[in-house]
Structure formats: C-alpha cells, structure tokens
C-alpha cells in the first residue's frame, strides 16, 4: 500500500510539474499594439499549445524590471534598440531577445493632416493655438523621454502633458471632431492612423528613432518553454495585419474575444508560426 501511495504521489507530482510548465506570465504596456499583440499571442498559445496564460498590464520600466527578476516571463512590445535603450542597458544581461514581431516602429510628434505645419520646427509658431501643450502618454514610455529631448533640442515653447495611450487618442479624437489644432506623441503601428488622417511631423534633428518591436523574455525562458519559444520566434505581423487586429479590438471593445476571432480568421498565418525552421 505504501508503495502504491508513493507511486501515486510521484505521478501527481509529475502531472503538477507538467501543468506548471504550461503556465506563462505575459506583461504588456497600455498601448494599442501591445494590447493587440499580447492578446493574440495569448489566444494562440492557449489554443495551439495548451498553455494557461496570465496577463498583467504595467509601465514598460516596471515590466523590464519584472522580467529581469523572473517575476514575469515575456513582453511582446519592447521598442529596441533605441526607444527602450535605457531599460535594455539596465536589464538586458538578465533577458532573452526573441526577435522582432514588427520591423519598422516609428515614433514622433503627430498632428491631424488639416494642420498646415510639416515639421517639429514649425510648432513654436502655433504654440498659442496648442495651449502650450503636447499631449503625451505615460511618463515611463520611451517616447515620453524622447519628447522631452525634442522640447530641449528644438527649444519648443511647449510642455508635455502625460496621460495614457487611451487618453491621448481620446484627446486627439475630440480635437479632430472640432477641427482644432493638437499635437500628440504618436507611433506607428497604431489604429489611429487607419481611423484618422494624420501626419508625423518631420524631425530634421533625428530625435525620434526607427525601432523594431521585439519580444523579450526572462533569462531561461527558451530552455523552460521550447514549444512557446519556437512559436514566438516565428510570431511576426505586417503593418496591415497588425492594423487589422488593432482595429478589430478597438471596434469590439473586447480585446480577448477580438483577438481570438482574428486568430480563427487568419489560420494560415497562425499555423505558419508553429512550423520549425
């Protein structure tokens, strides 16, 4: 009887260990593309590989620290090598780079196309119309730090007003409805470029860089989760695909359900992520 109990406990332990190996923790910032990519990855990891995925939303600096400490497993929205350079320099030795999901991430200052200005250098001429404000997102974002650099580099008579991604897009939508001037911190890919006629202001001094949107994991992730690693290194989206996914989520207001529907409607793409090289 004791022998049988011992075998039973051993088998239970193996099952528990196996279940633990199928658990992932993914952290993401409150940005449109981060929300979209993260919920899509969750849907695919759960449906195709049988994982149980827990999501946590936080500022990027908090996420990088949590990954380095092993408190989170994965982030799919790291803007590297430039926008999140400071975080990578601080934590990169404790992280794994799983490659790019999207290869051309653009950041900058964005205005509606009905505004006559073309360059960041033109902003001082209309600072009064803008109430002296650049509408920004969370202060921990790399684009917020670069906006402060731009204010200094171009000697702008404007201040950055930090909020969040959704608050920024809400302010932009309100201004466009009234055809009022506004300048926001912006980036592509983002659904707002599909919904509104916008332009990124020229940046002749090169303050805002071009980045890849990369997947970053805690140290040891590849060894611990080889199946998930294989899927994630293949996990990539074109601008049109990512825009379609973001628009579906924005319209539905239900990110998990919209991501699952999008995955079902794009099975050839999803299945291609499961292939080994």
Residues 114 and 183 in one domain: yes
Over residues 250-265, mean pLDDT: 96
pLDDT, tens only, 116-136: 999 999 999 999 999 999 999
Give the domain CATH number at 142: 3.40.190.100
Residues 257 and 124 in one domain: no
pLDDT, tens only, 201-254: 999 999 999 999 999 999 999 999 999 999 999 999 999 999 999 999 999 999
Whether residue 259 is contained in a domain is answered as yes
Predicted confidence band of residue 186 (pLDDT cuts 50, 70, 90): very high
Residue at a domain's end among 170, 188, 210: 210
Whether residue 147 is contained in a domain is answered as yes
Residues 144 and 182 in one domain: yes
Whether residue 71 is contained in a domain is answered as yes
Residue at a domain's end among 177, 210, 243: 210
Q: Which of 3-12, 48-57, 137-146, 263-272 has the weakest average pLDDT?
A: 3-12
Q: pLDDT higher for 109 or 21?
A: 109
- Whether the predicted pLDDT of 12 surpasses 50: no
Predicted confidence band of residue 17 (pLDDT cuts 50, 70, 90): very low
Q: Residue 169: its pLDDT value, please?
A: 93
Percent of the chain with pLDDT over 70: 92
Predicted confidence band of residue 7 (pLDDT cuts 50, 70, 90): very low
Residues 178 and 52 in one domain: no
Residues 179 and 267 in one domain: no
Residues 115 and 80 in one domain: no
Residue-range definition of the domain harbouring residue 95:
19-103+213-272
Residues 144 and 241 in one domain: no
Q: pLDDT higher for 275 or 228?
A: 228
CA-to-CA dists, residue 167 to 31, 76, 79, 276, angstroms: 11, 22, 21, 41
Whether residue 7 is contained in a domain is answered as no
Whether residue 23 is contained in a domain is answered as yes
Residues 224 and 192 in one domain: no
Residues 167 and 48 in one domain: no
Residue at a domain's end among 195, 210, 225: 210
Whether residue 203 is contained in a domain is answered as yes
Predicted confidence band of residue 28 (pLDDT cuts 50, 70, 90): very high
Give the domain CATH number at 42: 3.40.190.10
Residues 181 and 219 in one domain: no
Predicted confidence band of residue 3 (pLDDT cuts 50, 70, 90): very low
Whether residue 111 is contained in a domain is answered as yes
Whether residue 179 is contained in a domain is answered as yes
The model carries a pTM of: 0.79
Number of domains making up the chain: 2
Residues 154 and 75 in one domain: no
Residues 99 and 218 in one domain: yes
Q: Residue 194: its pLDDT value, please?
A: 84
Average pLDDT taken over every residue of the chain:
91
């Amino acid at each position: 009887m004791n022998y049988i109990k011992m075998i039973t406990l051993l088998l239970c332990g193996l099952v528990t260990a196996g279940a633990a190996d199928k658990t992932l923790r993914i952290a993401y910032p409150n940005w449109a593309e981060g929300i979209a990519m993260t919920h899509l990855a969750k849907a695919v990891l759960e449906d195709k590989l049988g994982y149980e995925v827990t999501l946590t939303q936080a500022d990027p600096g908090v996420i990088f620290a949590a990954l380095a400490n092993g408190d989170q497993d994965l982030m799919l929205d790291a803007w590297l090598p430039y926008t999140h350079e400071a975080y990578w320099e601080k934590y990169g030795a404790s992280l794994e780079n799983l490659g790019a999901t999207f290869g051309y991430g653009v950041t900058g200052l964005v205005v509606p196309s009905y505004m006559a200005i073309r360059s960041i250098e033109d902003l001082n001429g209309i600072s009064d119309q803008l109430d002296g404000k650049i509408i920004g997102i969370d202060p921990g974002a790399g684009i917020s730090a670069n906006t402060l650099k731009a204010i200094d580099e171009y000697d702008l008579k404007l201040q950055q007003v930090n909020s969040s991604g959704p608050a920024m897009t809400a302010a932009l939508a309100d201004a466009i409805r009234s055809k009022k001037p506004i300048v926001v911190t912006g980036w592509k890919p983002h659904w707002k470029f599909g919904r509104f006629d916008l332009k990124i202001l020229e940046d002749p001094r090169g303050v805002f860089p071009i980045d890849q949107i990369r997947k970053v994991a805690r140290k040891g992730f590849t060894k611990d989760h080889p199946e998930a690693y294989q899927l994630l290194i293949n996990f990539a989206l074109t601008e049109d695909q990512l825009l379609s996914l973001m628009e579906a989520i924005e319209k539905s207001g239900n990110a998990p359900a919209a991501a699952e529907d999008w995955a079902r409607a794009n099975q050839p793409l999803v299945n291609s992520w499961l292939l080994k090289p």
